[in-house]
Amino acid sequence: MGFPERFIAWVGLLYKGLVSKILVNGHLSKAVNIHSGVRQGCPLSPLLYVACIEPLAQILRRDKWIRGLDVPGTGGLTATCVLYMDDVTLLATDVLSIRRAMDLTDWYGRASGAKLNRNKSEAQLFGPWDGVDTGRLDVDFKETNFKILGVKFDKEGGGRDNWTDMLGKDREPVSPVPGLTLCEAKQAWRNASHPALQNRHKDLSWMVAHEILPVRAVMHSRGMAKNPTCPRSGCNFPETVRHLLWECGAARDLWAKTGPLYFPSLPAGGAQIGYQLAILGVGRGLKDLTAQEFTSLWLTLNVIKDAIWATRNLLVGKRVTVPLHACELKVTSMLQGYRATIFGRGGRGRTGRVPAATNPGRP
């Protein structure tokens, strides 16, 4: 297919001596040598598969005995096959084309080691096929609706049942953030990309809103951690995102210790602070804040979350326990640098402007 030798050598190096281990109930098996197939989850794997299946597509498209469908309005172009990964759809207009395609597929299988699963192969006739003997074709011809990649086709080719199924379902707006309304969820996503945040704080806010921060409960659900328990000493609760940033004793202590930093920015005093406000930046009373007030509050909350996440990673990665007063100093130092960059000295911007607030409050 014209790949350079250097590229082939690099791919071969990636797959040289390939082994795999099986994770069962938190325990890894011995290494098993892999002699065929591609790496699961590797971004190169689908590209390698496409490179392997493309010769079959080229054979079917170039064979002069296979008559495909003429595509209207294309100046004579013909569609013979459509591929989506390992799903191959053949478009033929006579029995000879079907037989020829099946023979070529078998020939490709003998050359590549792939095999056509005839038990899962189905066919449907559209148009003037009356009187055609299909009994000799080793394919299951469907008389009911035919489905390709989830899309239904009826014998007339209209696929009207697709709309019936779609319109017949009761659909309600679903918030992309659990526990929030649609309006609040939109606000949370805008907060995650607030222009005043550093990129790493934007990433942290995005993962928190998606609840995919790599805490133990998340990693355990994906088979990448032995247990979901919080790593803090004496804490036996599952380490979810909510637990890490809000419910864990270490998190509660830091929120209480750094209260004077964010209390002045709250719309109605400390009584308004809660999980949704602290973690997602949504809650009652925020509409009464100016853009600068909300930006100052949101920066403070993100710095505290960053400190919680950083100290947790030190505990897990290096078994270093950071004292509470050290966490407070870290938050104060980061916040001073943040505010100096955004607002300038004294809390006022050098140009008198701040990044546009995502909070729909007063300008």
- Residue-wise pLDDT tens digits, 207-243: 998 889 999 999 999 888 889 999 998 999 999 999 9
Q: Are 255 and 270 in contact (CB under 8 A)?
A: no
355 — pLDDT class (breaks 50, 70, 90):
very low
- At residue 213, the pLDDT reads 93
- At residue 312, the pLDDT reads 94
Pick 359 or 61 by higher pLDDT: 61
- At residue 326, the pLDDT reads 93
- At residue 253, the pLDDT reads 94
349 — pLDDT class (breaks 50, 70, 90):
very low
Could you report the per-residue pLDDT of 15-35, keeping only the tens digit for each?
888 888 888 877 888 998 988
d(CA 62, CA 270): 73
- At residue 216, the pLDDT reads 94
Helix 45-62 vs helix 95-112: angle between axes, to the nearest 10 degrees?
140
Closest to 281 (Cα-Cα) out of 347, 208, 349: 208
Pick 319 or 351 by higher pLDDT: 319
Average of per-residue pLDDT across 182-200: 88
Predicted confidence (pLDDT) at residue 143 exceeds the cutoff of 80: no
Question: Residue 354: which residues within 8 A CB-CB, separation 6 or more?
Answer: 196, 291, 292, 295, 342, 343
